[in-house]
A and B are shown apart, each in its own frame.
Chain A
Amino acid sequence: MTTVSASSIYAKPVVPRIVVRPALASVVLHATLLIALTANWATSTPKTITAKPAPMVINARLVDASEFRPKPKPKPVAPKPKPVPKPQPKPEPKSEPKPAPVAKPKPVPPKPTPTAKPKQTPVAQPKEAPRPEPRVEPQKPSKSSADLAALARAELATVVAEEQSAAEAVATSAEMTASYAALIRQTVINYWSRPPSARNGMEALLSIQLIPTGEVVSVTVVRSSGNTAFDRSAMNAVEKAGSFPELQNLPSREFESTFRRFSLLFRPEDLRY
């Protein structure tokens, strides 16, 4: 009798029922993990470059840009930086310090340039050669402006290259990225032929992915302008530009942080109609 009843006390398989909290914890953990893995972290802070074609009037002033090529060599001083930025930045784009950097870092290091420049210019020349040809074809209507733009791009490329070699130590990363952003913007604008249906106030935000060689890997419309033709034209512009080999000169850290994935904002604000 004793043994039978004794076993009944502690033989009762009482297992405390702890079910809800662990189940919840497990589900929540896996859900957050899934979300974290599927969420696109890269798009959270892409740099946005605004591509607003400048009105023609300002485009004409681009010729000024050719003037400042020789200038950097004879040591441009304080006043020069101001005229330089104006030509390419057109109507001030949103991204902050784009215009300034082109000239800023120059004052200090013109001495090392003589040795470095010859190295850099050959890098820039091959770029100039292939570019003008394709550019003339897509932009039949405004041949002269396209030529000017090609010239401007070449100028920009050389200036950027010079700046890079001359001011490696001086140029801050922000200035470098700003000048490269300006280069990208200018290139894309040159290839951009807006559809007739484009209106002022339209905005298309594209997400662009580059690889370190400067080639465009993917273009997607993040925010449509509402006009398919306009979106198409923006995508075409980037696809035609194809690659920005100048970016190879950029230190890889800067590249990863800004140009691996960035947004390009297209808005035609110069339109008169």
Chain B
Amino acid sequence: MEEQLSLIDLVLHASFTVQLVMALLFVASMLSWYMIVQRFIYFRNAHDEMYQFEERFWSGVDLAQLYREGSEHTAEGHVMLGMESIFRAGFKEFSRLAQQSDMDSEALVEGSRRAMRVAMMREEERLERHLAFLASVGSTSPYVGLFGTVWGIMHSFRGLANATQATLATVAPGISEALVATAMGLFAAIPAVLAYNRLASRVEVFSNRYDTFVDEFSGILSRQAYALRSREKKAGAVAGGR
């Protein structure tokens, strides 16, 4: 006539290997939740800033002005996120190349496009940070938990070998504590898989938006490049870009 086995007791009385597995899974769960929340906050920020920037960008503001505002922002310690950093990379490269008079307009656009591609890669890399961890927690932690369970059950049956009279009561606690490992594995895996799928699809959305932006912006830049070069040709002399 004793109290029901409490969960804490089950964990504390488990064998060393099972405890190790449980600790591993607990840490994995903690980390994956940390990353889930961190990613969601980051994505929300990136999303908000993307919208803000797109609004600014298409509001007809002077691009040089926009660039300068961004520089001030970064100087204040503000972190440049997403679309704006793509814009800055492209614009900076463009203005730098435009100063070299021997560059024709195609080379100008091509150069800034390349810079934007690089910046976009960086952005995607930033977005995808930690996603690999979530994916591996999601796919491996059930197996790790299962390993703990199998090990625990092995142990409790080995103990049974010496017992002359095998009752359910002799193996039940062992099996029960071993099953905790599987439960923990599933607990760690399920949110990780869900979050991974969600985040991966959002990364996709983001990179599509960035792609579109790169195309749109390089369209604008090529228009400006042609205008610039034809003006220079008319003037027939070396002139500074913007």
For the complex formed, measure the closest distance between the CB of A3 and the CB atoms of chain B, giving whole angstroms. Answer: 10
Task: Tell me whether A30 is interfacial, beta carbon within 8 Å.
Answer: yes
| Stretch in B29-37, B139-147, B164-172, B225-233 with 4+ CB within 8 Å of A | B29-37
- Chain A interface secondary structure, helix, strand, loop or mixed? helix
Q: Which residues in window 3-18 of B have CB below 8 A to A? A: 3-4, 6-8
Task: Tell me whether B2 is interfacial, beta carbon within 8 Å.
Answer: yes
* Inter-chain contact B85/A10, CB cutoff 8 Å: yes
Q: Which residues in window 214-242 of A have CB below 8 A to B? A: 216-220, 239
Task: Tell me whether B163 is interfacial, beta carbon within 8 Å.
Answer: no
* Inter-chain contact A218/B4, CB cutoff 8 Å: yes
Name B39's closest neighbour in chain A (CB-CB): A22
Bound Cα distance from A218 to B119, whole angstroms: 67
* Inter-chain contact A22/B4, CB cutoff 8 Å: no
Q: Contact check: which of B41, B42, B122 meets A10 at CB < 8 Å?
A: B122
* Inter-chain contact B126/A10, CB cutoff 8 Å: no
* Inter-chain contact A218/B38, CB cutoff 8 Å: no
Bound Cα distance from A2 to B107, whole angstroms: 14
Which chain A residues border B1 with CB–CB below 8 Å? 216-219, 239
Task: Tell me whether A60 is interfacial, beta carbon within 8 Å.
Answer: no
Task: Tell me whether B80 is interfacial, beta carbon within 8 Å.
Answer: yes
| Stretch in B54-62, B87-95, B216-224 with 4+ CB within 8 Å of A | B87-95
Q: Contact check: which of A10, A26, A216 meets B88 at CB < 8 Å?
A: A10
Q: Which residues in window 11-31 of A have CB below 8 A to B? A: 11, 14-16, 18-19, 21-23, 25-27, 29-30
* Inter-chain contact B33/A14, CB cutoff 8 Å: no
* Inter-chain contact B92/A6, CB cutoff 8 Å: yes
Q: Given A2-B96, A14-B79, A30-B30, A220–B41 Cβ distance below 8 Å?
A: no
* Inter-chain contact A23/B45, CB cutoff 8 Å: no
* Inter-chain contact B81/A16, CB cutoff 8 Å: yes
Name A216's closest neighbour in chain B (CB-CB): B1
Task: Tell me whether A115 is interfacial, beta carbon within 8 Å.
Answer: no
* Inter-chain contact B118/A27, CB cutoff 8 Å: no
Task: Tell me whether B115 is interfacial, beta carbon within 8 Å.
Answer: yes
Bound Cα distance from A220 to B7, whole angstroms: 18
Bound Cα distance from A183 to B187, whole angstroms: 44
Q: Given A14-B80, A15-B126, A209-B4, A6–B115 Cβ distance below 8 Å?
A: yes
- Which among B4, B88, B97 has the greatest number of chain A C-beta atoms within 10 A? B4
For the complex formed, measure the closest distance between the CB of A39 and the CB atoms of chain B, giving whole angstroms. Answer: 10
Bound Cα distance from A218 to B5, whole angstroms: 12
Bound Cα distance from A153 to B41, whole angstroms: 66
Which chain B residues border A15 with CB–CB below 8 Å? 126, 129
* Inter-chain contact A22/B34, CB cutoff 8 Å: yes
For the complex formed, measure the closest distance between the CB of B12 and the CB atoms of chain A, giving whole angstroms. Answer: 12
For the complex formed, measure the closest distance between the CB of B42 and the CB atoms of chain A, giving whole angstroms. Answer: 6
Task: Tell me whether A197 is interfacial, beta carbon within 8 Å.
Answer: no
* Inter-chain contact B38/A22, CB cutoff 8 Å: yes
* Inter-chain contact B96/A16, CB cutoff 8 Å: no
Q: Contact check: which of A18, A27, A218, A219 meets B30 at CB < 8 Å?
A: A27
Task: Tell me whether A44 is interfacial, beta carbon within 8 Å.
Answer: no
Q: Given A25-B37, A29-B33, A30-B29, A220–B3 Cβ distance below 8 Å?
A: yes
Bound Cα distance from A216 to B41, whole angstroms: 52
Which chain B residues border A9 with CB–CB below 8 Å? 88-89, 92
Bound Cα distance from A2 to B122, whole angstroms: 19
Q: Given A16-B42, A21-B37, A239-B1, A10–B118 Cβ distance below 8 Å?
A: yes
Bound Cα distance from A6 to B6, whole angstroms: 62
* Inter-chain contact A26/B42, CB cutoff 8 Å: no
For the complex formed, measure the closest distance between the CB of B130 and the CB atoms of chain A, giving whole angstroms. Answer: 10
Q: Contact check: which of B33, B42, B97 meets A25 at CB < 8 Å?
A: B33
The 3 nearest A-B residue pairs measured at CB: A22-B37, A22-B38, A26-B33
- Supply 6 A–B pairs (Cβ within 8 Å), ascending by A: A9-B92, A15-B126, A25-B34, A30-B29, A30-B33, A37-B7
Residues of A within 8 A of B (CB): 2, 6, 9-11, 14-16, 18-19, 21-23, 25-27, 29-30, 37-38, 209, 216-220, 239
Q: A21-B41, A25-B33, A218-B3 are in contact. List 17 more A-B contacts (CB 8 A).
A: A2-B97, A6-B92, A10-B118, A14-B79, A16-B45, A16-B79, A22-B33, A22-B41, A23-B34, A26-B31, A26-B37, A27-B30, A29-B33, A38-B6, A216-B1, A218-B2, A220-B3
